[in-house]
Chains A and B, each alone.
Chain A
Amino acid sequence: MTPLAPQGIAISVQGLEKSFKDVHVLQGVDFEVAKGSIFALLGSNGAGKTTIVKILSTLLKSDAGAAAVLGFDVASQPGKVRESISLTGQFAAVDEILTGRENLVLVGKLRHVADPGAVADGLLDRFSLSEAGSRKVATYSGGMRRRLDISMSLIGNPPVIFLDEPTTGLDPQARIEVWAAVKELAGHGTTVLLTTQTLDEAEHLADRIAILHEGRIIVNGTLAELKALLPPVKVEYVEKQPTLEDVFFALVGGNGHNGSAGIPRDTTTTD
């Protein structure tokens, strides 16, 4: 979470627009992600986070604007982009019928790594899955699946990784496991673009946080910068640090649109 010295741009997105039928999901999204940093894209359900990730991972074409990964344009050089990235989608995309190790070997072979078996064993060890490695994935817990899913994304050492809501649907214990995995990644110099609806998560993991709301990035900054945007400190019986959740609702105005990402905390109560 230390501020990063500028060291080049891994991901750049400019004026990105995308509509599905008459729903204008992205209405001109701009942001940049520095190499080796963790960037969190924050927004409620349906804000367009997954759409951005899909465009960046060449699964979807934008209607307007430009996006590039390591300088490769996603529309005109999709092959180069796919060589640079790894996608961990919203649902753990693992093969249930295969064992954990077979899943890793499969991806290793598709990425043409020299020794898929050794790479698989190394990752099983790194993500504490060695014992479960020979079991079918169908028997795994949610947290184990997610760890396997993320470890599959690391094969071939792609410099940029997209994690689309990596902890959605996980219990607190599994969430901590995944957080540890993501922090480890960044420690290895990988650029991580993370989407999340839990503000807590962005706060824990990200170097920079951007809030996506109604098709645009409304704020983009470090946690400290975001907190500075909050209205003057309230004087209460118990002084509390404003959470990111407060920032979010202060910025988007009360209760969001469709169900919102969380329940606004009542800051006046003491407990």
Chain B
Amino acid sequence: MSNHFFSDTSVLLGRSLRHITRSMDTVITTTIMPIAFLLLFVYVFGGAINTGSDSYVSYLLPGILIITIASGISYTSFRLFLDMQSGIFERFQSMPIARSSVLWAHVVTSLVANSVSVFVVVLVAVIMGFRSGAGLSTWLAVAGILLLLTLALTWIAVIPGLTAKSADGASAFAYPIIFLPFISSAFVPTETMPGPVRWFAENQPVTSIVDSIRNLLAQQPVGNDIWVALAWCVGILVIAYIFAMVAYRKKIA
């Protein structure tokens, strides 16, 4: 049956993408909070924050994009949870299809939906004065990092999607991830933070990812940051995937 993997996945992908296009509000609500943060920090707090860079919106954007993705993946859990609850997951699992395509369709949908949200937020940033002289290859590198991060966070989202007992539980896991950029170099440089906080900020994944994207877009050398960032993304991806598969196998027995 695995010879049908790609056709089955694309059929199920078509289904979940239709869910997105028929409820565009999920894409919109995903972008509202990051855009609100963008406006708040640029026009309210930004004047008092000294980042040492010319444009605070350019400084802030990478962190906001991470928040966008973190709030986007909570819908992935939510949609998966609804499939579990409605019994349609079991219906698919009892059919002669490539069984894992049911999960992969949700994962690819998450990549597509988050790409749209990220694009919308970047557009708002451009309207607010964000500019980058980066060329196509640099933008592709940024897109690649963001997609890898989305993939890693999506596999985290699969776990509560499969195991949650309530819809609230399915999406609540995203809050700590949304909060993580606040204790990083996303909003302010880490230098002013007190010892232990600074240590945490500098050694958690968001900082290396944010710094890499920021330097890429500012056409500055990225140094080791990009390797640290990629290592975090791949590490999170592998571990989340393993736990998601354990949860999945328990469900399909």
Residues of A within 8 A of B (CB): 54, 57-61, 79, 82-83, 85-87, 89-98, 102, 106-107, 109-112, 152
Knowing A93-B91, A112-B4 touch, does A60 contact B97 (C-beta < 8 A)?
Answer: no
Q: Which chain B residues have a beta carbon within 8 Å of chain A's beta carbons?
A: 1, 4, 7-8, 11-12, 15, 18-19, 22-23, 86-88, 90-97, 252-253
How far is it, in angstroms, between the C-alpha of A48 and the C-alpha of B90 when the chains are bound? Answer: 17
Please tell me if the beta carbons of B90 and A89 are within 8 angstroms of each other in the complex: yes
The docked-state distance in angstroms from the alpha carbon of A58 to that of B253 is 8
B72 to chain A, nearest CB (A): 18
| Contact A89-B87, Cβ < 8 Å, known A79-B96, A82-B94 | yes
| Contact in complex: A110, B88 (CB < 8 Å) | no
Contact of A87 among B4, B23, B90 (CB under 8 A): B90
Determine the chain A residues whose CB is within 8 A of the CB of B92 once the complex forms. 110
* Interface secondary structure of A, over-half rule: loop
What is the minimal beta-carbon distance from B76 to any residue of chain A, in angstroms? 15
Question: Residues of B contacting A106 with CB < 8 Å?
Answer: 11, 15
Contact, CB under 8 Å: B253 / A111: no
- Contact A91 B96, CB 8 Å, known A97-B19, A112-B4: no
Count of A-B residue pairs with CB < 8 Å: 64
- The answer on a CB contact under 8 Å between B11 and A109 is yes
B15 contact from A54, A82, A85, A98, Cβ within 8 A: A98
Chain B: which residue is nearest A62 at the CB level?
B253
A60 touches B11 (CB 8 A): no
Complex CA gap A82/B96 in Å reads: 5
Which residues of B are found within 8 Å of A96, using beta-carbon distances? 86
What residues on A are CB-neighbors of B87 within 8 Å?
89-93
| Nearest CB on B from A119, distance (A) | 14
Give every chain A residue within 8 A of B86 (Cβ-Cβ): 91, 93-96
Do B88 and A59 touch (CB < 8 A)? no
| 14 sampled A-B residue pairs with Cβ under 8 A | A59-B252, A79-B1, A82-B94, A82-B96, A87-B91, A89-B90, A91-B87, A93-B90, A95-B15, A95-B86, A102-B18, A106-B15, A109-B11, A110-B12
Nearest neighbor of A162 in chain B, beta-carbon distance: B94
Q: Determine the distance from Cα of A67 to Cα of B1 in the docked complex, in whole angstroms.
A: 21
**Which chain A residues lie closer than 8 Å to B93 at the CB level?**
58-59
Complex CA–CA separation, A86 to B92 (angstroms): 10
Complex Cα gap A111–B1 (Å): 11
Which B residue sits closest to A112, measured CB to CB? B4
Q: Apart from A87-B90, A95-B88, what 9 extra A-B contacts exist at CB < 8 Å?
A: A58-B94, A59-B252, A59-B253, A60-B253, A82-B1, A87-B94, A97-B19, A97-B22, A107-B95
- Complex contacts, A59 vs chain B, CB 8 Å: 90, 93-94, 252-253
- Chain A nearest Cβ from B113, distance in angstroms: 14
Measured between alpha carbons, how far is A87 from B88 in the docked complex, in Å?
Answer: 10
Report the bound CA distance from A91 to B7 in whole Å.
Answer: 27
Q: Which residues of A contact B19 (CB under 8 A)?
A: 97
B252: min CB distance to chain A, Å: 7
Q: Nearest CB to that of A82 among chain B residues? A: B96
- Considering the chains assembled together, what is the distance between the CA atoms of A87 and B4 in angstroms? 20
B99 CB → nearest A CB, Å: 9
Contacts of A109 in B (CB 8 A): 11
- Given the interface pairs A59-B252, A112-B4, the reply to whether A93 lies near B95 with Cβ below 8 Å is no
Q: Given that A98-B15, A98-B18 are known contacts, is A110 also in contact with B90, CB under 8 Å in the complex?
A: no
A110 touches B11 (CB 8 A): yes
